[in-house]
Each structure stands twice: as C-alpha cells, then as structure tokens.
Structure 1
Amino acid sequence: MPRLLPRLFALPSKLLHRRTRRARMATLILLLLVLPLVLVLPFYTIYKPPSSLIKYFSRRWTDVLWRLWLPPHRKIVALTIDDTPSDHTLDILAALKAGGAYATFFVIGEQVRGREDILREIVRQGHELGNHGMHDEMARELGNEELEKQMREVEGMIRGAYEAEGRVWPPRSGSSGSGSGSPASHAERTSTHGTDGTDTRTREGGTVEDKVIEGKYYRPGSGFFSERMLTLVRKLGYRLVLGSIYPHDAQIGYAWLNARHILSMLSPGGIIICHDRRSWTPPMLRNVLPEMQRRGYKAVTVSQLLEEATG
C-alpha cells in the first residue's frame, strides 16, 4: 500500500502534463494557421481593396475621385492609363479601338519630347489627357512651388496637343470630340458632384471643389497625396483622380493575371488604373476588353463617367 500511494499521486501529475502538452500543441497549430492569414491579409487588402474601404475613402476625401456609385444596371467604368506617352502607347490605342473603349491617359511630361505626335493621336482618336506631373516620382514629397511648376508645364503640353487637333482644352460647351463614338463634350463649369453622386453645394461653407474645372484631371505620382496637395490641386483648377480597380500592373508583368484582377473587381462606376510604358499592357487590354463587353460593360473616359452620373 505505501508503494501504491506515490503512483496514485503521480497519475494526476502525468495527466496534467499530458494536457499541457496537448494545449501547447493546439496553440502552436493555431498560430501556424493564423499567422499566414495575419501576414497576408494586409497585402491582400491593398491588392484587392473591399468596396467598404473605397466607400470610406470616398467619404473621407470627398473631393478626390475614387469611383462613382452607380446602380447595377448602369454598367459603365472609367479606364485610365498612367505614364503616357511611351513606345507602347500606339499598341494600347489599337487595343482600345479594337475593344470599343475610350480612356483617360495621364501624361508624364519628361516622356513627351519626341512623342508629341502620340499625344495628338490620343486626342485625335477621341480619348482624354490628364496631368501626371513631369517625372515618375512620389509627388507628395514635392514642395508646393515645384509641384505647381510641374503641373503647369505638363498642362502646357496637354493644351498644345488639343490645340494641334483643333480642340479646346479644357473642353468648353459646344465643342465636339473627334471621330465616331468619341467622348461627349461637357461645359467648363464648376464641379458640384462628389464621388457618391451627391451635390456638394449643400455642404456648409459652399463646395469643396469650388475651383475645379471639368476636364482637368490630376493623378499624383505613386498615388499618395496630402491635404496640402489637395489645396494646391484645387487652386490650379484640377480634380484629383485615383481609382478603385488597380491590378498593380506597374509591378506585375503578367497580362492574364492583371486582366483577371480587373474582371474580378468590375462594378458600375469603377475607375480602372492601368499603366503605359509596359509591354504587357496591350495584351492585357486585348484580353479584358472583349470580356467586359460580353458582360455588358462600357469603358469610357473620366469625363464620360462623370457625365453618366449627372445624365
């Protein structure tokens, strides 16, 4: 009997140790399962931001155009092309023409020299030009004086391309696009609609966009902005345009993957961000545009999208 007592007392201890080991093992397995999710989720949110996040951004920065919130039956999206012009722009134009699409091309000034004819061709085919600054750099790091200088310099290039085609920029009431099916003209007037389609004139203190001229669009390099930048951009008459569908094609060189990303995020009123200066952009467009048409979607310029919201 005395010999049995230590053994009996040892049993609970062994059971306790066994349960502790099992609990530790379960915790380790749980960590191994959760940790990848914790690490991947932020990157996935950046890669494919949920509509709730875009809606929050739209309400937080009402004078930045992220997208429009159109009803399901109005299947229209804006297509934007950054980093224009380049040696690939004409291939992009051919893909757009084949796909019955129109786009807003955001111009980098340092790439224009020797390619002025490409800017004119973009305008000639009924597309639209926007301002992307002089250099491929993070615009938020520029001081106000340098940023304004760059924007005005690129503005002169844009205006020159339109005037060379007998067009007025920014478009005025009564002007017409070139070519069949080109974007409809719109008046040079104060913008009074926010990204949610509401009338910004009802906000206290007047409109937040009281200096914005329709048809003047600016996209900052790298997509980052500050309140200081927004104030300057408005002062120069521009609307800051970002987007809601971005396949990260500036870094990801797989046309099929970028096309799949765009198609997976299509929704009425969305703004697609693509990039010129990449060889994989034309085949991506030749892949994605026919499928968009099959689904009943129409790809248009930023101006056309805004007209759709007010039409």
Structure 2
Amino acid sequence: MALQGLVLAIVLVVILPAYVVYKPPKLLIGYFQARFPQVLFQVETSRKIIALTIDDAPSPFTEQILDILKANNAKATFFAIGDQIPERDFVLADIVRQGHELGNHAMHDEPSISIPSDVLTTEIVEVDKALYMAHQSAGKTRSNARYFRPGSGVFSRRILDVASKLGYQTILGSIYPHDPFIKYWRINAWHILSMARPGAVIICHDRRSWTVPMLQKVLPELKKRGYEVVTVSGLLDVTHGT
C-alpha cells in the first residue's frame, strides 16, 4: 500500500505536471487565451485551418524548409532573430517572395524577459528594419500586421507593453513539440499530429537539421486530414472574417 501511494505521489507531483507542460490540454490553452487576450495562443473555429510558425530564422536549413512548404502548398510565419540576418538577408527576401510571413524574434537567441525594456525596444526596432528591407528586396509591400514572439516563449506584462507600444502583437501558440531540445523528428512529428485541431498555432524551430524531416512528415499528413496550413495573418483573416 505504501509503495502504491509513493507511485501515485510521483505521478501526481512529477509526471502529470511534466505531461501537461509537454502536451497542454485544450482547456488549459483556452484559459491562457482568455486570461491574456492580447496574446495569440489559438483561435476558436470549426474550420480545418492551422497556423505554422517557425522560430530562429534564417539559417542554413531555411531554404530546405521553404521547398517543403512549397511542395505541400503550405504557408508559414518565420520569426527572425536579428543577429542571424546579416549573412542571410537574401533568405528573408526569399521567404517574403514565396508568400510567407516574417515575424520579429528580437536580436539574440535569449529569453526576452531577461532583457531591460529599453534594450528590448532597440532590438525589436532593429529587427523591424531588417524585415522592412526584406520586403523591399523582394519587391513586396509589407502588410500592417506586426508579430512578435518573445525569446524562450516567456512573457510578462512588461514584455507585452514593450511590443504593443511598437505596434506588435505577441504570438505564442498551442502546439509546441519542444523541438529545440528533442532532436528526434519522429517524436516531434507525432506530437504535432496528435495535437492538431482547428485554429491551432504550431511552434517549431529553424536552425535544427531535424526540423526538415519532421515537416516532411507533418505537412503531407495535415493535408491528408484536410487541414489548410497558413500564416498567422492567414489564420486571423479567415477566423475573424477579414
């Protein structure tokens, strides 16, 4: 009996919370969406439409990701890190040219919550300039939509205020396979497909070789299930009727 109690305690204290973090239930995501309406986690819709977001662009793998998206008639929002842009600014132009969307992921791969407000403001503005130049290089007019994803996906009221004052909406998501840490693409693909539902926002990451085969598995399967994979703006436009 004591052993059973110990096992139950371990499940309740350790395993269950870890599982909820790894695969948060729809009810929990809905709570966060209601609690923080200015942050996008998901949208309520019966239409089979999902937004795909890809952090940490551009990288040596971005062009392969673009090829996979094209092959599956899918669109995505790429959140760019500023210090990765200088040697690959042409990749951002390719992203725009192919009908995808660019978002702002600040200047460095670090938790935004640890950055002072004035520094974070400067970083977002600098990356914004690079996103503008990408549209110029691609010969495309930039939309008025501005999307920011805080580094490490952690935010506070202060972070939201900094982004909002710069005209940015903060974007998180509802499906996150923890792919920066889990290198097994089959597991990450299973995670995404097991949680796929109308109105979801997928978070995955560029700059990792295992993202390429993961998307090669996920995108055809979502298409087979009848889902349309779109940008953040595409999701909001359809579900908000604009």
After TM superposition, is the score higher than 0.5?
Answer: yes
* Residue 59, structure 1, aligned to residue 55, structure 2: no
Gaps of 5+ in 1: 1-25, 172-187, 189-214
Give, in whole Å, the separation in 1 of the partners of 2:158 and 2:91: 33
State the 1:123 CA deviation.
0.6
Give, in whole Å, the separation in 2 of the partners of 1:32 and 1:240: 40
Match of 1:275 among 205, 220, 223: 205
* Residue 248, structure 1, aligned to residue 223, structure 2: no
Counterpart code for 1:148: T
Counterpart code for 2:29: I
Measured against aligned partners, the alpha-carbon deviations of 1:34-80 in whole angstroms (never above 9, x if no partner) come to: 42443111111000001111111011111001110112xx1000000
Gaps of 5+ in 2: none
Counterpart code for 1:302: V
1:32 partner SS: helix
Alignment of 1:158-169 (within 5 A): 158-169=131-142
* Residue 38, structure 1, aligned to residue 45, structure 2: no
Give, in whole Å, the separation in 2 of the partners of 1:113 and 1:229: 26
Counterpart code for 1:42: P
2:53 partner SS: strand
State the 1:32 CA deviation.
2.7
Give, in whole Å, the separation in 2 of the partners of 1:250 and 1:294: 27
* Residue 29, structure 1, aligned to residue 4, structure 2: yes
1:92 partner SS: helix
Give, in whole Å, the separation in 1 of the partners of 2:128 and 2:210: 28
In the other structure, the counterpart of 1:140 is 113
Identity %: 52
Counterpart code for 1:114: E
State the 1:33 CA deviation.
4.2
**TM-score, normalising length from structure 2?**
0.97
Match of 1:226 among 156, 169, 174: 156
* Residue 88, structure 1, aligned to residue 88, structure 2: no
Give, in whole Å, the separation in 2 of the partners of 1:56 and 1:130: 25
Checking the alignment, whether the CA contact within 8 Å between 2:44 and 2:198 is kept in structure 1 is yes
Give, in whole Å, the separation in 2 of the partners of 1:254 and 1:52: 27
In the other structure, the counterpart of 1:101 is 74
Counterpart code for 1:59: A
Match of 1:79 among 31, 52, 70: 52
State the 1:30 CA deviation.
2.7
Give, in whole Å, the separation in 2 of the partners of 1:32 and 1:276: 39
1:274 partner SS: strand
1:86 partner SS: coil
Checking the alignment, whether the CA contact within 8 Å between 2:49 and 2:199 is kept in structure 1 is yes
2:50 partner SS: strand
Which of the pair has more CA radius of gyration? 1
Counterpart code for 2:210: W
Give, in whole Å, the separation in 1 of the partners of 2:4 and 2:160: 48
State the 1:305 CA deviation.
0.2
In the other structure, the counterpart of 2:223 is 293
In the other structure, the counterpart of 1:179 is none
**TM-score, normalising length from structure 1?**
0.76
* Residue 49, structure 1, aligned to residue 24, structure 2: yes
Q: Cα RMSD over matched residues?
A: 1.0
1:140 partner SS: helix
Counterpart code for 2:157: E
* Residue 131, structure 1, aligned to residue 104, structure 2: yes
Counterpart code for 1:107: A
State the 1:98 CA deviation.
1.2
Measured against aligned partners, the alpha-carbon deviations of 1:200-234 in whole angstroms (never above 9, x if no partner) come to: xxxxxxxxxxxxxxx20000000111111111111
Give, in whole Å, the separation in 2 of the partners of 1:32 and 1:272: 34
Give, in whole Å, the separation in 2 of the partners of 1:32 and 1:288: 35
In the other structure, the counterpart of 1:194 is none
